[in-house]
Amino acid sequence: MANYLLVHGAWHGAWCWRRVLPLLTQAGHRVHAVTLTGVGERAHLLSPAIDLETHITDVMAAMDAEEMDDVVLVVHSYAGMLGTAVADRRLERLKHLVYLDAVLPKPGESWSSTHASATRNARIAAAQADPLFGFPAPDASVFGLEAEDHAWVQRRQTPHPGKPYTQVLNFDPKRVASVPRTFVNCTRPPLATIDISRLRMRDPAFWDGAWLPGSQVVEMATGHDPMVSDPQGLAKILMALDPA
């Protein structure tokens, strides 16, 4: 039995894993999906006080509350920031870190650091104009979703807290790199805001050479939300990482 802790990306909630959870549990694994403060069913908590530390604490608190060790931590998109922080702070609790089409930060970077200036400026401006300091989700079509999948995600997305977008993360890359890591690269269509991370996942110089040893890349020919568009394929990849 493996212990999977699933962390969604921006604008989503634990709801996005609905099609993956039964596939993992029916195979005998233990699974818990986190909803970050201010989004999903916790959207009523959205406020200017939510920051990057709030979301890092959400993940660590879930790990503690569920009494999980030897965790396969799966972090989607924005949550790459959170998985990196948790690996730095809770190294002994993790068995594998999965960056699911996720942000791969350098120390001292924010989530917004690798985005085009137009994207960054638009999101910051939207948050500043919102009394709750959130910025809206893009249309779900950018995740490669169509028809019923598009409609489901489109109506479930909620504004994302603004502070975590620009707050920097400091961490020890060699410490994080001591955890076995997999980058799941979603290629059809590729989401533009992940492009820099796609370059980094194969860069022998990334994290001063610490990234590539102990890491692997797995390709998925689907869009940015594979838990929606290809749950069976994603579950198969996750279970292959830890066949226990």
Spell out a b/e string for 122-161, using b for 16 or more CB atoms within 10 Å of the CB, else e.
ebeebbeebeebbbebeebeebbbeeebbebbeebbbbbb
* Helix or strand holding residue 226 (H, E): helix 226-229
In 3D space, the residue among 96, 100, 192 whose CA is nearest the CA of residue 138 turns out to be 192
CA pair distance 135, 125, nearest whole angstrom: 8
- Kindly give the interhelix angle for 80-89 and 52-65, rounded to the nearest 10 degrees: 60
Tokens (6 digits) for 190: 């590729």
Instruction: Considering the candidates 77, 110, 215, 229, report the single residue annotated as catalytic.
Output: 77
CA pair distance 186, 142, nearest whole angstrom: 12
CA pair distance 103, 141, nearest whole angstrom: 20
Q: How many CB atoms lie within 10 A of CB 120?
A: 18
CA pair distance 24, 27, nearest whole angstrom: 5
Task: Tell me whether residue 110 is one of the annotated catalytic residues.
Answer: no
Tokens (6 digits) for 165: 């977008």
CA pair distance 8, 42, nearest whole angstrom: 13
CA pair distance 207, 63, nearest whole angstrom: 26
Residues with a known catalytic role: 77
